Every structure is written in C-alpha cells, then in structure tokens.
C-alpha cells in the first residue's frame, strides 16, 4: 500500500491548516497536547489523501471538529466517505461540533477519554 501517513505532497496544506486553526481547534489542542489525556495526539495529521484535525495513532482515534460548513448535504456525504475510509483502517472517528468544544469542553474530553481506554 505504500506510505499512507503524512504524505509529503500534503505537507504545506497541513501546515496551512495548523496555522489557521479555529478557536475550537486551539481550545481542544490545548487539552490533548503533551499527552494530557495519557496518549500522544497529532493535529492536522495526514492519512492517505485526507487530513484529520486530531489523531491518536496508538489508540487509533481520530477527532474531527465540524463548523457550519459541515452542515450541507454534500459535506455530510463527503464526511461519511472519509469516516468509512478511516474505519476500514480500524480507526474510531469522533465528530464534535465546534460549539460543543467551545461550550461544553468537559463533556467532549470525557467522550474522548472513554474512547482512549
């Protein structure tokens, strides 16, 4: 299958996404970085042709934060295809709305922690 993680072709895009993170992404990153939940997370991590918001490779957990752009039917269909792809690689995909992170961070962290066990 070849290299599927962090392909060089997407390096500049991953960097651009890290540098333009939403407030919700920054808030969650501050809670999961440096193994604060017991496991290493990477942000804007490349898996094949996709870039995920956060990934814990050791526990095979992906976290995606969704803003309003994800509410359209086409975006939902695209997200479903992505999720199926990641699940085929034995990843669990957790999706949260940006508002959930901004307004109820503790519940989000509790859900994430439950999937890391």
Q: Is the pLDDT of residue 2 over 80?
A: no
Residue with tokens 């526990």: 59
The two structure tokens encoding residue 61: 């957990």
Structural domains in the chain?
A: 8-111 (3.40.960.10)
Entry pTM: 0.95
Tell me the per-residue pLDDT of 52-103, one tens digit each, with 9 for 90 and over.
999 999 999 999 999 877 778 999 999 999 999 999 999 999 999 999 999 9
| CA 71 to each of CA 7, 14, 64: distance values in angstroms, whole numbers, following the listed order | 28, 23, 14
Q: Is the pLDDT of residue 1 over 60?
A: no
Which of 89-111 are b and which e, b meaning 16 or more Cβ less than 10 Å from the residue's Cβ? eebebbebbbebbeeebeebbee
Dist. CA 85–CA 101, nearest whole Å: 25
Dist. CA 55–CA 89, nearest whole Å: 13
């Amino acid at each position: 299958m070849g290299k599927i993680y962090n392909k060089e072709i997407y390096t500049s895009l991953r960097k651009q996404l890290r540098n333009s993170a939403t407030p919700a992404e920054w808030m969650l990153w501050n809670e999961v970085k440096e193994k604060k939940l017991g496991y290493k997370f990477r942000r804007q991590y490349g898996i094949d042709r996709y870039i995920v918001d956060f990934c814990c490779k050791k526990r095979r957990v992906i976290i995606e934060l969704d803003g309003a752009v994800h509410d359209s039917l086409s975006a939902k269909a695209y997200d479903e295809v992505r999720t199926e792809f990641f699940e085929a690689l034995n990843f669990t995909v957790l999706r949260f709305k940006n508002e959930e992170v901004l307004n109820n961070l503790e519940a989000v962290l509790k859900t994430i922690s439950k999937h890391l066990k």
